[in-house]
Amino acid sequence: MSESPRVGIVMGSTSDLDTMRAAATMLQELGVAFELKVVSAHRTPDLMFRYASEAAGRGLAVIIAGAGGAAHLPGMIATKTNLPVIGVPVQSKALNGLDSLLSIAQMPAGVPVAAMAIGGAANAALFAARILALQDAALAQRLAERVAKITAEVEAIEL
């Protein structure tokens, strides 16, 4: 996208991409400019620190962070920026993502992260869009139209 990104989508590993792609697809559908990067609190702590510290200054408004297992990435990003951070627990092999979910949800008081469901990348994008829509009437309209379309589709079901 040529427009400067408003949402940063980051993930701990390229192995998270299958899950996190849903966030990118949703933001694309909604016409929200985003960027997609691999950043890890464990493997690239200096990059993580820099990414989070510089995010607001670069014009990002929301960060979506996906990680699996000991999913410290969303919480650690939230320590270095005051932007809203939305965490996506990526399903892990050993514990099916329960480890990821609890690592993201159980933040200490004072450092908030909005925890989505396991694999909830699309909802993370919708949540980010709702935050942006507070100051973007056209986006609010697109979100409302999306909801109206889904409602009409469900109401039209005849069994």
For ligand C2R, the binding residues (CB under 6 A) are: 11-13, 15-16, 40-43, 67-73, 90
**Per the annotation, does 92 bind a ligand?**
no
Q: What's the one-letter identity of residue 62?
A: V
Q: What's the one-letter identity of residue 42?
A: H
Q: How far is the CB of 39 from ligand C2R (least distance, A)?
A: 8
Handedness of CA 45, 47, 48, 54 (dihedral sign): positive
Q: Reduce the DSSP state of residue 35 to 3 states and report it.
A: strand
List the structure tokens of 62. 């929301």
Angle between helices 137-155 and 17-30 in degrees, nearest 10: 110
- Which CB, 90 or 132, lies closer to ligand C2R? 90
Report the distance separating Cα 137 and Cα 130, nearest Å.
11
Q: How far is the CB of 142 from ligand C2R (least distance, A)?
A: 30
For residues 99 and 71, is the Cβ–Cβ distance under 8 A?
yes
Q: How far is the CB of 72 from ligand C2R (least distance, A)?
A: 4
**Per the annotation, does 136 bind a ligand?**
no
- Which CB, 15 or 82, lies closer to ligand C2R? 15
Q: What's the one-letter identity of residue 137?
A: A
Q: How far is the CB of 104 from ligand C2R (least distance, A)?
A: 9
- Which CB, 5 or 69, lies closer to ligand C2R? 69
DSSP state of 111: S
**Per the annotation, does 2 bind a ligand?**
no
- Which CB, 12 or 132, lies closer to ligand C2R? 12
Annotated binding site: 13, 16, 43
| Binding region for substrate | 13, 16, 43
